[in-house]
Structure 1
Amino acid sequence: MSKEVKPESVSLCPLGAAAAPEQELLCIFGTGDLGRSLGQRLLQAGYRVVYGSRRPHSCGPLPVGAQVLSHAAAAQSSSLVFLCVHREHYDFLESLVPQLKGKVLVDVSNNLEKNLYPEANAEYLQRLIPGAHVVKAFNTLSAWALQNGPSDANRQVYLCGNSSEAKQAVAETATKLGFTVLDRGSLSTARELEDFPLRLFPEWRLPLRIAVGLTAFFFFYLLIRDVVYSYVAQGKNTSFRIMVSLANKVFPIVSLIMLSLCYLPGVIAAILQLYRGTKYKRFPDWLDRWMLCRKQLGLLALGFASLHVLYTLIIPIRYYVRYKISASTIEQIKENQTSEFNISYAWRGDSYYSMGILGFCLFLLLGITSLPSVSNALSWREFSFIQSKLGYLTLFFCTFHTYLYGWDRFLRPATYKWYTVPGFMLSLVVPTALLILKLLLLMPCVDRTLTRIRQGWERCDPEDDSKKSLLT
């Protein structure tokens, strides 16, 4: 590799040197938002910046302290060039092949959609300018992240390239800007890096589909039971209940089921390990995918639980509730009667609200500890205790809360409208089955075997079989 690849400021002067080293000059092609933000960050980090432009005298406002030259002059003056232009504008680079020979050319471009071109932009750029050392980098950062500095969500810079020296030069620049560099290998992985910015919540797709599916199913199910049934069978128009009452039934149902789905794959995995007698066999792909999205399932469940709490708080100020209370009071006054205080109803109501409050507070604790800034401060044992032990306690409180809500309604024939079960009874199926299975796994004989398997013991260990054959 030619000596031009190495940045000019690689050789550092000793601390006691009389003359300070000259600031390294970096070149940027492109004066758009990304190019200006990148130039601003480079200037703040102590670099000198020169822009290459088709119109050096009319390219718009640029960071203070940066120079503007023609493409050829700018490329000639620096050994590291950032290319902040779209692929469809690469044609002007063909005339700069002599000036870019031996230079490090950093491609930061992205496409509007996947598979838009047969090859990655960086690979095309390397083929267009074979004498340059193309490095794919900085394309996963936004102009905002470059302008305002790295944050927790935008701290990493991915790069790839065929020249280790060229990647080292880019890595040093990224590190000086405050970013963490992750080398993804050769230029053949450039398409993967270019697809990163096009991904839209990939870990959230399955949980969101589950949430939308459950919400739609229970909404229409309860709509038929609570609104359509009242209109058809009783002649009452209760459509106003859709906005609050119906929603406040759907949210806790979906929340409880999705919370159960966070812990169900762990129980299924334990059962599979017990059945196989080993931990060294891969789980099915669907179970792996399920286990990888448990965090997202839990956060969505917390969101639905929060909506349930907010909707419950506005119940006393609803017109329908105030009307029912005032009508009941007037009716008692007319009949000169007062309803007696029922101690069992009071116990049931207080227990119902108490379990809901405890469950929601623990739910919030689970959500807070799932944040990276919090989970990084916890040891693995602390994190496991909160997410596992307290997680199952949260599920128990929320399930018990739902049982207290139903109380003895399952004994009343009027509960089964059109021979359908209430929604809260359907929501209890998964968490109840999960809690029962978890209790079975906690039995000493079962837990002891499962612990041995997870520590590496195998039921059909070849060494154990050889030892048995020697003993016999």
Structure 2
Amino acid sequence: MSKEVKPQSVELCPLGTAAAPEQELLCIFGTGDLGRSLGQRLLQNGYRVVYGSRRPHSCGPLPQGAQVMSHAAAAQSASLVFICIHREHYNFLEMLAPQLRGKVLVDVSNNLKKNLYPEANAEYLQRLIPESHVVKAFNTLSAWTVQNGPSDANRQVYICGNSAEAKQAVAEVATKLGFSVLDRGSLSAARELEDFPLQLFPEWRLPLKLAIGLTTSLFFYVLIRDVIYAYVEQEKDISFRIMVSLANKVCPIVSLIMLSLCYLPGIIAAVFQLYRGTKYRRFPDWLDRWMLCRKQLGLVALGFAFLHVLYTLIIPIRYYVRFKIAASTISKIKENKTAAFDTTTAWRGDSYLSMGILGFGLYVLLGISSLPSVSNALSWREFSFIQSKLGYLTLFFCTFHTYLYGWDRFLRPSSYKWYIPPAYMLALVVPSVVLVLKLLLLLPCVDRSLTRIRQGWERTEPDDNSKKTLLP
């Protein structure tokens, strides 16, 4: 006996077009800055939004097009709920466990400091409502970023959770909002994500500490050699030179040393690989940390180079310089003397300035190419060429610039005040070592072995047949 099939009526839209699919409804608990910004962004991207509030009729202005109702009613209406409230207010959620059963709860909360609670906020929320699927996400973004969309420096959304389906649902929302999603694993990673916004320039700490240490030590070194020496031995007060002259000596030295420290870890890593005969062994932790902060080292070094350029540009307008020039000119007029033009000095001066200009120009190019908006437009080969090949060329020009500055001063006994060398000689030690080691690595026999190792070849001991190469 056949079952009778009743015809279904289909409602047609004007001009015979199919009915548009209903927009997905998302729920937000919390009407603060982040909750309102998130709601506005969701509405702009085609979602329907309902807010859950303790005071639905007096919660302040909300984005146009959003609904507001009690927490229980809002939770029942959507399958995905953003929890935009502080952890200390989570207790009321336990009473909403029946309405939140099986829902995806997106915890966006942060704390005021690390280790404020024994467990992560997301883990605490999961314990309060065990039958829901808690996902930690969006907590690394500010309300301004959420409302105005992603930028180059703030594009990533980190998520973690125990349910793959729940994380996929949150990832789809984040992707539709224009963000890129990075899955950090299970909910046990929530504490790490909650610590992200509390970190203050973690990758800049070592470069900044190094810059402060070098600047302080070199400043006192130059202060003793120039100012204190002149006061003690010659009874001359030239303390006014601290503000410009001494600063203009310290800045280029710190810049050159820090630039060379950007390339020294790469050379040390190459030596490790040559010594071990393989690239499949980890470097020491100190070398890993050093290599990870090379970009920050370079940018700090570029900042000191900029200061050196600015200090140099104001030299002609300094009272001390103008006074010396005027005094020297008047003295020669009175004595009816003229100074002969020295071609060697002219060559030296022009070469010194030319090397400085070329070095600083390449320095700026290195800094620009490290910006995310520029580096993202470069291929890996282009980025490597600029940061490696042109980087070593920059180091060479800046080092040669310093050698031309010193010229033959190291031969003069008067340069060694209190038997200590001039500061520029200290600046040449590290970059000279880096350039010499790099030249040694470029020798054909060394470069060939290093290239083979980096392509996967491994050196095995002849008496140990148990060691196998990973590649033929």
Q: TM-score, normalised on structure 2?
A: 0.92
Distance 1:465 1:82, change over 3 A: closer
| Structure-2 residue corresponding to 1:128 | 128
Pairing of 1:427-466 with structure 2 (within 5 A): 427-460=427-460
The worse-fitting range, judged by mean Cα deviation, of 456-465 and 132-141 is 456-465
| Structure-2 residue corresponding to 1:5 | none
**C-alpha displacement of 1:98:** 2.0
What amino acid sits opposite 1:109 in the alignment? S
| Structure-2 residue corresponding to 1:348 | 348
> How many angstroms apart in 2 are the aligned matches of 1:329 and 1:387?
47
Deviation string, structure 1 residues 53-103 (Cα, Å, up to 9, x no partner): 122222222111212212222222222111111111112212222222222
| Structure-2 residue corresponding to 1:264 | 264
What amino acid sits opposite 1:321 in the alignment? V
**C-alpha displacement of 1:197:** 1.3
Distance 1:463 1:28, change over 3 A: farther
> How many angstroms apart in 1 are the aligned matches of 2:80 and 2:444?
65
| Structure-2 residue corresponding to 1:53 | 53
Deviation string, structure 1 residues 164-207 (Cα, Å, up to 9, x no partner): 22222212211221112222222111111111111222221111
**C-alpha displacement of 1:26:** 1.5
What amino acid sits opposite 1:37 in the alignment? S
| Structure-1 residue corresponding to 2:374 | 374
Deviation string, structure 1 residues 193-226 (Cα, Å, up to 9, x no partner): 1111112222211111111111111111111111
CA contact (8 A) 2:72 2:96 kept: yes
> How many angstroms apart in 1 are the aligned matches of 2:74 and 2:201?
39
> How many angstroms apart in 2 are the aligned matches of 1:453 and 1:174?
42
Report the secondary structure of 1:135's partner residue: strand
> How many angstroms apart in 2 are the aligned matches of 1:169 and 1:453?
44
**C-alpha displacement of 1:320:** 1.1
The worse-fitting range, judged by mean Cα deviation, of 62-71 and 303-312 is 62-71
Deviation string, structure 1 residues 394-442 (Cα, Å, up to 9, x no partner): 1111111001101111111221112211111001011111111222222
Pairing of 1:227-376 with structure 2 (within 5 A): 227-376=227-376
**C-alpha displacement of 1:33:** 0.8
Report the secondary structure of 2:157's partner residue: strand
What amino acid sits opposite 1:46 in the alignment? G
CA contact (8 A) 2:145 2:154 kept: yes
Distance 1:24 1:280, change over 3 A: closer
CA contact (8 A) 2:153 2:372 kept: no
Distance 1:291 1:466, change over 3 A: closer
Distance 1:165 1:273, change over 3 A: closer
**C-alpha displacement of 1:466:** 9.3
| Structure-2 residue corresponding to 1:113 | 113
Pairing of 1:169-208 with structure 2 (within 5 A): 169-208=169-208
> How many angstroms apart in 2 are the aligned matches of 1:384 and 1:256?
21
> How many angstroms apart in 2 are the aligned matches of 1:59 and 1:347?
76
Deviation string, structure 1 residues 329-378 (Cα, Å, up to 9, x no partner): 11112212122211111111001000101111111121222222322333
Distance 1:127 1:417, change over 3 A: same
* Consecutive unaligned residues in structure 1, runs of 5 or more: 1-15, 468-472
Tell me how large the CA RMSD over aligned residues is.
Answer: 2.0
* Consecutive unaligned residues in structure 2, runs of 5 or more: 1-15, 468-472
> How many angstroms apart in 1 are the aligned matches of 2:452 and 2:436?
22
Deviation string, structure 1 residues 110-140 (Cα, Å, up to 9, x no partner): 1111111110100100111122221111111
> How many angstroms apart in 2 are the aligned matches of 1:183 and 1:321?
61
> How many angstroms apart in 1 are the aligned matches of 2:452 and 2:138?
47
The worse-fitting range, judged by mean Cα deviation, of 142-151 and 202-211 is 202-211
> How many angstroms apart in 2 are the aligned matches of 1:122 and 1:457?
46
CA contact (8 A) 2:262 2:295 kept: yes
Aligned pairs, number: 453
**C-alpha displacement of 1:279:** 2.4
Pairing of 1:217-232 with structure 2 (within 5 A): 217-232=217-232
Q: TM-score, normalised on structure 1?
A: 0.92
